[in-house]
Structure 1
Amino acid sequence: MLKLGKRIKALREAQHLNQTELARRCGWDSPSRIGNYEQETREPKLADLEHIAKALGLTLQELMFGTDGDSPSSLGRVVEWEKQEELAEEGYVFIPRYDLNLSAGCGTIAWVIHEEDPLAFRSRYMQAKGYNPDNLKALYVRGDSMEPYLQDRDTVMIDISDTTPKDGEVYAVCYDDEWYIKRLFKVPGGGLLLQSDNPRHKDMEVSPERIEVVRIFGRVIWRGG
């Protein structure tokens, strides 16, 4: 069984995060706290573990103990394989990659299955997270507006049943007849802020009067390079 410090490091690296990025997600100015926890030179407080778990998209129990005996570094990791036939269907869930085509603006969309192979997740991972595979779609990231959280041509998986904006969460959205992946924040009065993580890109604030032109496709629940 991995010690807690190594578990945190394994989970962080499985999501392609460095210590600075994880610390920022936790709301901490310095990555030194993450480094101390991973090197086990400092014992983390429960509140800090809760911050780390949330930043990694895990429950506190998954962070501390894993799921069903899995090593923490394998939680949520895509399985590498050459052909779909190589994997036992009863042990895996396959999520197709889609291209998102817009017609008539944001009002009409078409999910077109990409020709490339789907993503493969262990069934028990989906069950532990409470995800319904029928609600999950994988998309390619376009551009660098969400760096360092997302890189150009990364893949994200969204839950199309989760469309109510929560502050600070990342969503696939349509705005002014274009689709984006942005971090959303509610604006007093009923507006919405579409925020880019990359400071080189301007945020987009949608007034309450224009909120009807925004369509949220789903929340990002997984990402991979």
Structure 2
Amino acid sequence: MKKPTRTPLSACQLADAERLRAKYVERVKESRERGDKPTLNQTEVGERCEWKSPQSTVSQYLNGKVALNLEALVKLSVALDFEPADVSPTLAKGITRAVDSPAKPARNAAAANSSPTDTPFPGGADIEPVDEKYAFVPQYSAKAAAGLGHENPHVESVATLAFKREWLRIKGVNPKNLIVIYADGESMWPTIDDHDVLLVDKSRAEPADGQIFVMASADKGVIVKRLVQSPLGGWIIRSDNEDKGEYPDLMLSRSEINEHRIIGRVIWRGGDL
């Protein structure tokens, strides 16, 4: 079986790796100046993060071979003593480390004491303990076309995205049923933009009027569209983009909707403003 090709890191992810590498070099220099024996190294950092392959895992993050995810960012921020936003402003939006190290108090006490439930991402108080406060949803290389469709012949999990467990509970979803993929194209604009992150609930695989779904079909591949029930009982696959010359409605009979396998309902999307 052919091994899937690793998805190249984006410019933003490569910049995260460069900033992380700079923090690591800075901490190694400090360790050397203190006369630590041995000097701080990648293996020690990985062991502090409790990774099974400590040196290899740290090396892949430092050299931009694997994209940082929020769980790794939080662990590395404690191991190397930095604020998450200093390394990855994108991943760290809305979070502040609750502790700088096991023996140090939070730098931002106000942030550490706040944990609003109306936002999906962790706040300061959510960082410790990690697993109890938020769920890590697998983030896949697959794309759902807001356009003509994607075949996605090879799909791999490239990272995880963290969501507050309380936020997920309020939305009535089980983290085990969730995946994160990406939108590609402009057919769902302005609701969903090109490159937006899509949180998909795989347990919601039945058609529902007015809801947005990720679907797969033999001829179109994977698409993200809104389903609208027609007056005759069939379904309309509709793009939110008002340019119907470019993105026309697709009318389906009751039987034809079964030819489009619903992967799940889109319950949240995130992207640039």
- 8 Å contact kept, 1:174–1:180: yes
Q: Aligned residues: percent identity?
A: 35
State the match for 1:215 in structure 2.
261
- 8 Å contact kept, 2:122–2:134: no
TM-score by length of 2: 0.47
Q: Which has the higher contact order (CA 8 A, sep 6+)?
A: 1
State the match for 1:143 in structure 2.
185
Higher strand share: 1
Provide the C-alpha distance between the structure 1 equivalents of 2:237 and 2:205, rounded to a whole number of angstroms. Answer: 14
- 8 Å contact kept, 1:101–1:110: no
Q: Which has the larger radius of gyration?
A: 2
State the match for 1:131 in structure 2.
173
Out of 123, 133, 144, the residue aligned to residue 91 of structure 1 is 133
State the match for 1:182 in structure 2.
225
* Root mean square deviation of aligned Cα: 3.2
State the match for 1:205 in structure 2.
251
Query: Residue type of the partner of 1:198?
Result: N
Q: Would the alpha carbon gap of residues 109 and 148 (structure 1) be closer, same or farther in structure 2, given more than 3 Å must change?
A: closer
Provide the C-alpha distance between the structure 1 equivalents of 2:192 and 2:255, rounded to a whole number of angstroms. Answer: 30
Q: Gapped runs of 5+ residues in structure 1?
A: 1-68, 103-107
- 8 Å contact kept, 2:143–2:183: no
Q: Would the alpha carbon gap of residues 187 and 76 (structure 1) be closer, same or farther in structure 2, given more than 3 Å must change?
A: same
How many pairs align?
147
Query: Which 10-residue stretch deviates more, 207-216 or 133-142?
Result: 207-216
Secondary structure at 2:176 match in 1: helix
Query: Residue type of the partner of 1:195?
Result: R
TM-score by length of 1: 0.56
Q: Per-residue displacement from partner, 1:147-183 (whole Å, max 9, x unpaired)? A: 0001100011111111111111100012334111101
Out of 186, 190, 200, the residue aligned to residue 158 of structure 1 is 200
Query: Residue type of the partner of 1:96?
Result: P
